[in-house]
């Protein structure tokens, strides 16, 4: 499944990660600390250098109402669900927060 991952700075300690299908308005959103957001981005399959660049270099310069988007990525629906981004009726819907003490390295790839 092709999705677009977005980042938004909520405040100095929280980052919002969103996932949406291209050309679809609804998106699944979760809030994380910057370290947790970094792990989620890597688990979504984004390159470590690219995610660090977005989180460290670009995101701090945005106001709280602006959002950054990564280029489209291909990821399985199962992997999205494991990360807490759930799908429903052909669109993204809000998911339950994932367990923060979950072992990220054990997620199926």
Task: Report the C-alpha gap between 9 and 53 in whole angstroms.
Answer: 14
What does the longest C-alpha to C-alpha distance in the chain come to?
37
Task: Report the C-alpha gap between 99 and 10 in whole angstroms.
Answer: 20
Number of helices (H), then strands (E), belonging to the chain: the values are 3, 7
pLDDT of residue 99: 41
Task: Report the C-alpha gap between 57 and 28 in whole angstroms.
Answer: 25
> What does pLDDT average to over the chain?
80
Which pLDDT band holds residue 43 (cuts at 50, 70, 90)? very high
The residue-averaged pLDDT of 45-72 equals 90
Q: Which two tokens stand for residue 50?
A: 């690219």
pTM, full prediction: 0.75
What are the Cα distances from residue 45, in Å, to 34, 54, 56, 109?
A: 17, 14, 18, 9
pLDDT of residue 87: 57
The residue-averaged pLDDT of 1-17 equals 91
The whole domain housing 57 covers: 2-106
Structural domains in the chain (count): 1
Classify 82 in phi/psi space as left (phi over 0), alpha (psi -120 to 50) or beta.
Answer: alpha
């Amino acid at each position: 499944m092709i999705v677009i991952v977005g980042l938004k700075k909520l405040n100095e300690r929280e980052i919002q990660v969103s996932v949406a299908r291209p050309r679809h308005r609804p998106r699944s959103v979760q809030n994380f600390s910057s370290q947790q957001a970094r792990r989620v981005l890597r688990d979504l399959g984004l390159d470590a250098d690219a995610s660090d660049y977005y989180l460290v270099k670009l995101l701090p310069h945005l106001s709280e109402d602006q959002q950054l988007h990564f280029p489209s990525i291909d990821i399985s629906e199962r992997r999205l669900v494991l990360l807490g981004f759930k799908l429903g009726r052909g669109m993204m819907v809000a998911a339950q927060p994932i367990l923060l003490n979950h072992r990220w390295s054990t997620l199926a790839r």
